[in-house]
Amino acid sequence: MASEKILLFSAVILLLHHAPSVIAGDIVHDDDSTPKKPGCENQFVLVKVQTWVNGVEDAEFVGVGARFGRAIVSKEKNAKHTRLVLSDPRDCCIPPKNKIVGDVIMVDRGNCRFTKKAKTAQNANASAILIINNQKELYKMVCEPDETDLNIHIPAVMLPRDAGTRLEKMLTSTSSVSVQLYSPLRPAVDIAEVFLWMMAVLTILCASYWSAWTAREAAIEHDKLLKDASDEIPNTKYANVTGVVNMNVKAAVLFVVFASCFLFMLYKLMSAWFIEVLVVLFCIGGIEGLQTCLVALLFRWFKHAGESYIKVPFLGAISYLTLAVSPFCITFAVLWAIYRDESFAWIGQDILGVALIITVLQIVRVPNLKVGTVLLGCAFIYDIFWVFVSKKFFKESVMIVVARGDRSGEDGIPMLLKFPRIFDPWGGYSIIGFGDILLPGMLVAFSLRYDWLANKSLRSGYFLWAMFAYGFGLLITYVALNLMDGHGQPALLYIVPFTLGTLMTLGKKRGDLMVLWTSREPERPCPHIRLQENGE
């Protein structure tokens, strides 16, 4: 059991990744770091490049529009089918030798400025220019500071190298290739954000009730021990629940410090192989979490199997029920790891993630409001620093880069809940980091344990208000996400003030603040002392 606690407690540190964000299309947003001037003030937008080969619809590619040139139409019906031709010479730094009559010209990057290529194509009577990058990534095409004569009236789009290779193959092997260029607008709100909000709230709700139920069972058992063994009164006011780690102030601070170190290590070592390591660690934690949740759910119907143990080499005593569900959990995690690049893999990732979060919230607990305030306060600073302040030092948001997996060639780290953006023409996923559920979830779970042990009703207690505050704070996060045009937001920036502020304000108003701040549980009369008084 001790090894399991250490494993899960370590897993929490691995999971502190925040910033709900939209994976697909982050390049579309306005970027103030690049120069703007008359004729060079477009926002960067993703552009769909739909191809037609000999009149038959074929592959679709995604590029990014330049800061300069005519704006791309947003509706597909307004986008014309235009013949695609390959520039000769390929770089289009000098007037092309081939005849162009309102065609879209495809050119290679390099040897001259982007604006030079666009002007040359425009003067050759091209209707648009596709510039093929020399790398797999997209690149934002901007104007140089010394450029003043910008009179470009055709759209300019950058495509990645692999798209250029396929387009060139089409042009050399078929008689006619045409393209459509358009940039559909994203919906203001997608249903993915609603489902993510519900997943986060329901996860904390389930974990809180499980945590409160085990705490109440431990309190009842403790009272029975006091009545049955009056000569052996425990020195502690409250017997710890087996398998539970109660965090203290020092651990709360170190918790966030270690998380920062781990995040920075991720940022520096981010690569395809490191993502594979994280996938393995996530699978191990997911197996443990799923197994713990399934055993707890099935224990009611298979109590005998849950209370009967067998000794397994290297693992020690394991219940027959745990032994029965383990193969399913391992198979589930392995199948997810194998098929994690498929379109349906987000379902398995969310199941493993939710199970792990619930298990951690059951095992790692905040004993009072003081520890919860220190933990969330440090996490609040951590979130703001790595999302916003880190841009000053690293020229990019470390948190967003890690969450998206920009340098890994993969879809990002697996320590996220994700949901597909169903109504978004660009697809992709909305995501939320485990830390945005785990950390405030610890405080919410504490509020319910307090309410149950103090015999408070739902209305007179603190849990309902803490739950409402968390849900409202997360809702405000998604509102800010949309108002900021999809830029990743540190969720704890909004969740922490609502959650902590609600509990502190309500506790002070009711006169319970000092008890909430310092005590593990409300003061309860000791049954043993009552028995002794009656005996006298």
Separation between Cα atoms, residue 493 and residue 505, nearest integer Å: 18
> Catalytic one among 108, 350, 424, 436?
436
3-class DSSP assignment, residue 69: coil
Q: Are strands 128-132 and 156-159 parallel, antiparallel or unpaired?
A: parallel
Length of the chain: 536
In contact, 204 and 439? CB cutoff 8 Å: no
Tell me the residue ranges of DSSP E strands in 332-389.
364-365
3-class DSSP assignment, residue 48: strand
- From residue 536, how far is each of 181, 230, 456, 529 by CA, in Å? 92, 14, 32, 11
341 tagged catalytic: no
Encoded tokens for 244: 């539970």
Token pair 């405030």 is at which residue? 440
Task: Characterize 273-307 residue by residue with b for buried, 16 or more Cβ atoms within 10 angstroms of its Cβ, and e for exposed.
Answer: ebbeebbebbbebbbbbbbbbbbbebeeebeebbe
Q: Mind spelling out the 3-state secondary structure of 393-442?
A: HHCCCHHHHHHHCCCCCCCCCCCEEEEECCCCCCCCEEEEECHHHHHHHH
Q: Read off the DSSP letter of residue 218.
A: H
Encoded tokens for 379: 């996490």
Separation between Cα atoms, residue 274 and residue 285, nearest integer Å: 17
Write the DSSP string, 246-315. Answer: E--HHHHHHHHHHHHHHHHHHHHH-SHHHHHHHHHHHHHHHHHHHHHHHHHHHTTT-HHHHH-EEEETTT
436 tagged catalytic: yes
> Catalytic one among 26, 108, 190, 383?
383
- With 0-12 CB in 10 A as exposed, 13-18 as middle and 19+ as buried, what is 194? middle
Smallest CA-to-CA distance from 224 within 209, 212, 239 is with 239
Separation between Cα atoms, residue 274 and residue 399, nearest integer Å: 16
- From residue 385, how far is each of 382, 394, 495 by CA, in Å? 5, 12, 16
On the question of a cis peptide bond just before residue 89, with omega within 30 degrees of 0, the verdict is yes
3-class DSSP assignment, residue 478: helix
Separation between Cα atoms, residue 208 and residue 362, nearest integer Å: 8
- Report residue 431: phi and psi, to 5°: -130, 160
Encoded tokens for 456: 């408070």
**519-525: long-range contacts (C-beta < 8 A, 24 or more apart)?**
519/368, 520/237, 520/238, 520/246, 520/367, 520/368, 521/215, 521/219, 521/238, 521/449, 521/450, 521/453, 521/454, 522/450, 522/453, 522/454, 524/219, 524/453
Encoded tokens for 19: 């910033």
- Annotated catalytic sites, by residue? 383, 436
